[in-house]
Amino acid sequence: RKEVEQDPGPFNVPEGATVAFNCTYSNSASQSFFWYRQDCRKEPKLLMSVYSSGNEDGRFTAQLNRASQYISLLIRDSKLSDSATYLCVVTLRTFGTGTKLQVIP
């Protein structure tokens, strides 16, 4: 089993749609979790950290489920500019392979 698993997508969604990504991790002792965004041929950039109680930043909501060992990212009211690859990250040591999102006009 991979340490971090993500659905690679691509997810093709219309503008304004709500889309959710999930990510599972294998190390139950992991303490820190993040979602990064990577545009084509660019470096990854932090989208948001994921806290145990869940957290929201504008249209983005992240959740952590320690019992089931997964984290999720919800994007509401998708914009064209949200098109990118979203990377699930555990403890900064293990990255998921990324989920590609394409928002369509």
Binding site for other proteins (CB under 8 A): 31-32, 34, 42-46, 49, 51, 87, 92-98
What minimum distance in Å lies between the beta carbon of 81 and other proteins? 19
Q: How far is CA 57 from CA 43, 54, 73, 97, 102, in A?
A: 21, 10, 11, 23, 20
Q: Which is nearer to other proteins, 75 or 87 (CB)?
A: 87
Q: What is the DSSP letter of 20?
A: E
Nearest CA to 34 out of 96, 101, 103 is that of 96
Min dist. Cβ of residue 92 to other proteins (A): 5
CB of 103 to other proteins, least distance (A): 22
* Nearer of residues 11 and 34 to other proteins, judged by Cβ: 34
